[in-house]
Amino acid sequence: MSELKIKKRDEMNIQDQWKMSDVYADEQLWEEEIKTADNMLENIGKYEGKLCESIHVFKEALKFINDLEWKVEKVYFYANQKYHEDLGNSKYQQYAARSTELLTKYYAKTSFVTPEFLLQPKEKIFGYISQDDELSEYTRYFKDLYRQKMHVLDGEKEELLAKVSKFSNGSGEIFAVFNNVDLQFPVIKDEQGDDVKITHAKLNLLLESKDRSVRENAFKGLYGSYAQFRNTLAAVYINNLKKDSFFADVRNYSSSREMFLDDSNIPGEVYDNLIDTVGEHLHLLHRYLKIRKKVMKVDELHLYDVYTPLVQSYNKKISYDEAKNMVITGLGRMGEEYTGILKEGLEGGWIDVYENEGKRSGAYSWSVYGTHPYVLLNYQPNLNNVFTIAHEMGHAIHSYYSNANQTYTNAGYKIFVAEVASTCNESLLINHLIENSKDQEEKAFLINYFLEQFRTTLFRQTMFAEFENIVHKMTDEGETLSCELLCEIYYKLNQKYFGEDVVVDQEIELEWARIPHFYSSFYVYQYATGFSAAVALSKKIIDEGESAVEDYKKFLKAGCSDYPIEILKMAGVDMSKKEPVELAMKMFEQLLDEFESLAVGL
């Protein structure tokens, strides 16, 4: 199944690594850039108290701050990308630490800017903007700034909060190092009876095994490792919840959730509608799991049984080269321009492909303005990882279009829309594969795969969102949380979502303790809303063709030039309403009907 020994970074093939030299040709340039940024920070004080004394100073200050921010971001980006190659590398640990120090200093030194702007009458600021076309790019920034005025403190308090950020993200940093470096998982036997060490990257492959004992041992081995540190992990996470509650309180928000949603101007109803609408359709998930139990011919369906493909004979290994070709072909509907950018990314040093010792787990796309996007993978040879490529390249191409069509000020799109671009790619790919399936067995396998995307992205992420909603609300209201209470809340949610036909194994109560995104609070709901929007958009592209693609590209090019919900409307989806989630549920039910008819012959 997999080698027991994981390669070290210096043993990896260079062609399978991303080209960080595209950011800085050599590391001396990084050293020079961090020094330049630090010098600029020392000089930014010359604008304090003078930001708006004339249109000339106003324009000069905005350009200076933008240039400074870009340099700080680029330094931070490079250092952390190199750090993620091997979290145990002391050189890049220092690079990451230095870049974090610079970022913290940036926030502290620029803390006067927002309060000083907000002291000015709106008419004065927008009067300056109306007098100079080059200032028009800041319209959205100031519109948003005044919208959030009541949550911005005076300069002295903002500087203090900026300094607090030096350690306030410690919970997430501690968890990341623990989860990726210090935590060790056991060695178990694979299907051939060979030793294989459980790792983050190999976990899904083990849980997909056709051998039930491999699945069970992987599941129990995983959670047994976390269980040894359950109280420590609870303390770390509860600390993170308290940190969020503190910032929400001092910034005059009624709750932590309101604070995090307000950044993208997302109404609370969007969050509640998601949980409510998914909750109203849990009978469909329960029906799917009942079908799974029947197809698998088991007396009891356990949580370690829910990941294995129901059509085992099609569960073939897929090389990375095969995966790239599948993604290119599957996204053909997006046209030559889009697939051309896709090919450039797949072949042009954007991607770090395989797992190595100490490498950050999972997958992500990250970009910095002025350089092509980057994608981190830990590729394993299965269909799930093919879709990971499509997903992350969706993010990357979104960044590519946004950076190419917006100024630095307006290029950084919000997370709420980010998951739409990535998941739309996945939806187009799976639809292509189903349409071109060669026989009923292959079609059944692919439909089952798509059903699993609904289960893991729409249902599971909504369960995560409901968990976050509960524990953050309890913290905000001053209730005392403990490891036992976190486990109890999480276990009951699993019972609710999985239903009566699944044995909810006790080990799952600790799943909250291994979810990195819980340290990026109120993030995961966007996977579910993004999935719903993506399903609607992919259907539109399939049905309408080129005109829908052009509308979709308007959305990709928009960056953060407007609020996320308004930007999505450019592509034809209104996430302020229940319809996109309900449409996704309708598609899930249709796929369920089709799979059930095919499953008769399995």
Placement of tokens 């809340």 in the chain: 489
- Tokens representing 97 are 């630490």
- The first and second tokens of residue 520, run together, are 């990026």
d(CA 89, CA 596): 50
- Nearest Cα neighbor of 263 from 247, 243, 286 is 247
Cα(17)–Cα(349) distance, integer angstroms = 7
| Cα 545–chain centre separation | 28
Spatial distance between the Cα atoms of 194 and 197, rounded to a whole number of angstroms: 10
Report how far residue 271's alpha carbon sits from residue 416's, in angstroms, rounded to the nearest whole number: 11
212-227 and 230-250 helices cross at what angle (nearest 10)? 60
Measure the CA–CA gap between 329 and 529, rounded to whole angstroms: 26
DSSP designation for 455: I
**Strand 351-352 versus strand 374-376 pairing type:** parallel
H or E segment to which residue 215 belongs: helix 212-227
Phi-psi region at 234: left, alpha or beta (left = phi > 0; alpha = psi -120 to 50):
alpha
The closest of 419, 445, 443 to 535, measured between CA atoms, is 419
Catalytic residue positions, numbered: 392
Widest Cα–Cα separation across the chain: 77
DSSP E strands in 321-459: the ranges are 351-352, 364-366, 374-376
Helix residue ranges, H only, 228-319 = 230-250, 256-262, 268-280, 282-296
Q: Where are the beta strands (DSSP E) in 143-206?
A: 187-189, 195-197
Inter-axis angle of helices 212-227 and 200-207, to 10 degrees?
140
CA separation for the pair 433, 450 (Å, rounded):
10
Backbone φ and ψ for 378, nearest 5 degrees, come out as: -135, 70
